[in-house]
């Protein structure tokens, strides 16, 4: 039986830029909430690839009994993929989910500021570490830019970090919070605009410590993960988590934290940097601290 969708409130037309792991998860989240979605990618090949991956993800949810086959079709009908940013002109909420690169995100938000026509539209960044205040300088409406940090997998993880900049209008913060908790059904924690926000400021030093243990030969990835899972009750060990997040993402967040605070515990270990250079990015590349066959270690 098809479930009733929540009241979407005043935001019904959404846009997502970037359809990597995080971006496509946000697209699926919006579609399953009954929202109209325009998803912008770089190339026509990425359009086809993203549409196929979305269908596969929704299909897995249907096979697990989380949604019906009718809902899968309805979700796909709600999403339009495009290579033209100007297709986002009528959106009420647009979130960028491009890789964690300050210059790229800042440039993109400046472009979106000139494209999105609704003067009340919310522009959001899904950054996991970068300054919202710094990126807001690229727009003519810094009061409407806010950080919205989802966690992967986006449809499954209930938490979202909401980060206003020094410029963000309090009314925009409240409107975004209602959007996240209402139709999207998320739990929201608010963070000050400082690198790493709440979760990554605590999480990343822990992950880097685990990498250093492997690097020094003190313990293997398997031993470290078993220790934290069986000894501390963590659902997944730190090295498996690094693989799931991606070496490149962990390294980028660590770089941003170290740049801001200059604390040695935030500096990415050489082993992490070498693995990024080798293209061993974790589960998404098939090799990290573990090797993966069909997504399984």
Average confidence (pLDDT) per 10 residues, the chain, 297 residues: 54 96 96 97 96 96 93 97 98 96 95 96 95 94 97 94 97 96 97 96 97 98 98 97 94 95 96 97 95 78
Q: For residue 138, which of 106, 112, 166 has the smallest C-alpha distance?
A: 106
Alpha carbon distance 135, 112 (integer Å): 12
Residue 195, both tokens: 């690198």
Residue 297, pLDDT score: 73
pLDDT of residue 152: 87
Among 112, 74, 79, CA closest to 93: 112
CB 13 within 8 A of CB 36: yes
**d(C-alpha 281, C-alpha 250), whole Å:** 10
Active-site annotation, residues: 128, 149, 161, 200
Distance, in Å, from the CA atom of 180 to the CA atom of 8, rounded to the nearest integer, reads: 10
- pLDDT tens per residue across span 59-114: 999 999 999 999 999 999 999 999 999 999 999 999 999 998 999 999 999 999 99
Q: Which domains can be identified in the chain, with CATH numbers? A: 13-190 (3.40.50.720), 201-278 (1.10.1040.10)
- pLDDT given for residue 61 in this prediction: 93
Structure tokens at 179: 């959007």
Residue 125 has what pLDDT? Answer: 97
> Are 106 and 138 contacting, i.e. CB atoms less than 8 angstroms apart?
yes
Q: Please report the pLDDT score of residue 3 as a whole number.
A: 46
CA angle 217, 260, 129 (to 5 degrees): 80
According to DSSP, the residues that pair with 16 across neighbouring strands are 39, 95
Determine the pLDDT at residue 295: 61
Q: Note the helical H segments in 64-117.
A: 69-78, 102-115
Q: Is residue 71 within 8 Å of residue 2, measured between CB atoms?
A: yes
Q: Which residue has the tokens 């986002």?
A: 88
Q: What is the spatial distance between Cα 33 and Cα 15, in angstroms, rounded to a whole number?
A: 14
């Amino acid at each position: 039986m098809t479930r009733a969708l929540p009241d979407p409130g005043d935001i019904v037309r959404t846009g997502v830029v970037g359809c990597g792991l995080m971006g496509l998860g946000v697209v699926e989240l919006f579609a399953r909430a009954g929202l109209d979605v325009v998803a912008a990618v770089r190339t026509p090949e990425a359009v086809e690839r993203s549409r196929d991956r979305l269908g596969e993800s929704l299909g897995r949810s249907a096979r697990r009994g989380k949604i019906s086959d009718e809902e899968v079709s309805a979700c796909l009908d709600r999403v339009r993929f495009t290579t033209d940013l100007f297709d986002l002109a009528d959106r009420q909420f647009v979130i960028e989910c491009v890789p964690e690169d300050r210059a790229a995100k800042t440039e993109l938000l400046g472009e979106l500021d000139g494209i999105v026509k609704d003067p009340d539209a919310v522009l959001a960044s899904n950054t996991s570490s970068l300054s919202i205040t710094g990126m807001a300088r690229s727009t003519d409406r810094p009061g409407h830019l806010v950080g919205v940090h989802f966690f992967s997998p986006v449809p499954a993880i209930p938490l979202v970090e909401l980060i206003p900049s020094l410029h963000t209008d309090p009314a925009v913060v409240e409107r975004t919070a209602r959007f996240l908790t209402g139709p999207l059904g998320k739990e929201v924690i608010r963070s000050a605009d400082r690198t790493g926000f709440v979760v990554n400021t605590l999480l990343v030093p822990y992950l880097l410590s685990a990498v250093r243990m492997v690097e020094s030969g003190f313990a293997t990835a398997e031993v470290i993960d078993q220790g934290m899972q069986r000894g501390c009750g963590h659902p997944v060990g730190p090295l498996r988590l690094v693989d799931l997040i991606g070496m490149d993402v962990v390294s980028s967040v660590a770089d941003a934290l170290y740049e801001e605070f200059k604390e040695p515990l935030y500096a990415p270990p050489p082993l992490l940097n070498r693995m990024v250079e080798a293209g061993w990015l974790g589960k998404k590349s098939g090799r990290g601290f573990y090797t993966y066959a069909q997504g399984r270690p």
